[in-house]
Amino acid sequence: MTTRTIDPELPDIAALEPVRSIKRRWPTILGGVLTVAMIVMLGRELLGSGLAGLSRAVPDSPWFYVFFTLLYLSAPTGDWIIFRRLWRLPAEGFVALNKKRIANDVVLGYSGEAYFYAWARARSNMVAAPFGAVKDVSLLSAIAGNAATILLCALALPLGHKLMPPDVLHAVASSAAITVAISVAILLFSKRVFSLPRHDLWWVFGIHCLRLLASSTFVALAWHFAMPGVSVGMWLFLAAGRLLVSRLPLIPNKDLLFASFAILLIGQDRALSEMIAFSSALTLAVHFALILLFGAVALAQGKKVWRR
């Protein structure tokens, strides 16, 4: 009978277990890190200008809050409809999609996609390879926004070029050219870029376009009920301008440009400034409340599992 000798240089199996555990749990760790980052950034924003914005003129009409709520929910609802079809996403996925939207707003661009990918990756029983779908949906969202930007530029520049200073007009035109170039490049290499079937890609693109239309309508109606002296038609025009300004890459201060453009069209600079500040602060407050609520629910569920 021979005795097997163990090479002392080989790592012990028990020592490898923590490494394997970390590899398996990286989606949970990444999700936790991004959640903490969301809380920190939201707290900083609210303690900065956010609370000051909430302390200013508050709209009296309840319809403002109805359409504000619809506006707030439009982005995660559109994403949930998309991933419900692609993955049969359960109801709990709506919470993850809200966190995705909050991370994109307050942490870094596309950090929400990283969070949602980590959330889906941790649920491999729901979807085996989530990266391709998350990537495609994100790219199609950008293409839909770029298409709307190009269309709005084509409509707005002939009408509003006399209202813009030459440097702003040049920045808008250059931004529009970059937007067109990016969209064309993605479309030219679409077979290498996208993973989903073509019919799914067209369906996702259509949902993104409907979401953009709905969100622009909701923001126009919310602003109308906050400042009823301005017609809905004018607010719809300004909502389109807001979408245009938000998508242009070379504009350094998008909020200031939009506010200046809106004041030039409708006047009422103080009331408009306060309404925009209130809307921005209210969005931050809802972000913060939802993150706290989601955290409390997750903590309560974790305690129940631990007790079992």
Range of the domain at 214: 27-39+63-307
Q: Does residue 252 lie within any of the structural domains?
A: yes
Are the C-beta atoms of 195 and 136 separated by less than 8 Å? yes
For residue 28, count other CB atoms closer than 10 A to its CB.
Answer: 13
Residue 274 has a pLDDT of 77
Give the residue among 278, 286, 289, 288 at the shortest CA–CA distance from 64.
278
Residue 190 has pLDDT above 60, yes or no: yes
Are the C-beta atoms of 113 and 100 separated by less than 8 Å? yes
DSSP secondary structure string, the chain? ---PPPPTTSPPHHHHHHHHHHHHHHHHHHHHHHHHHHHHHHHHHIIIIIHHHHTSPPP--HHHHHHHHHHHHHHHHHHHHHHHHHH---TTHHHHHHHHHHHHHHT-TTHHHHHHHHHHHT-TTT-S--HHHHHHHHHHHHHHHHHHHHHHHHHHHHHHGGGS-HHHHHHHHHHHHHHHHHHHHHHHTHHHH--S-HHHHHHHHHHHHHHHHHHHHHHHHHHHHHSTTS-HHHHHHHHHHHHHHHH-TT-S-HHHHHHHHHHHHH--HHHHHHHHHHHHHHHHHHHHHHHHHHHHHHHHHHHHHHH-
Are the C-beta atoms of 122 and 28 separated by less than 8 Å? yes
pLDDT level of residue 34 (50, 70, 90 thresholds)? low
Q: Does residue 223 lie within any of the structural domains?
A: yes
For residue 158, count other CB atoms closer than 10 A to its CB.
Answer: 9
Buried b / exposed e across 134-145, counting CB within 10 Å, b at 16+? bbbbbbbbbbbb
Residue 202 has a pLDDT of 93
Residue identified by tokens 């009920």 is 225
Residue 44 has a pLDDT of 62
Residue 74 has a pLDDT of 94
Higher-pLDDT residue of 14 and 271 is 271
Q: Does residue 53 lie within any of the structural domains?
A: no
Number of domains in the chain: 1
Could you read off the pLDDT of 103-151 as tens digits, one per residue? 888 777 777 888 888 888 887 666 666 888 888 999 899 888 888 877 7
Are the C-beta atoms of 36 and 105 separated by less than 8 Å? no
Environment class of 271 (CB within 10 Å of its CB; exposed 0-12, middle 13-18, buried 19+): middle
Question: Residue 51 — φ and ψ, nearest 5°?
Answer: -65, -35
How many Å apart are CA 98 and CA 90, to the nearest integer?
A: 14
Q: Does residue 4 lie within any of the structural domains?
A: no
Q: Does residue 179 lie within any of the structural domains?
A: yes
Q: Does residue 154 lie within any of the structural domains?
A: yes
Read off the tokens for 121. 């990756």
Backbone Cα Rg of the chain: 23
Q: Does residue 51 lie within any of the structural domains?
A: no
Could you read off the pLDDT of 219-263 as tens digits, one per residue? 989 989 988 888 887 888 778 777 777 776 656 556 666 777 677
Q: Does residue 138 lie within any of the structural domains?
A: yes
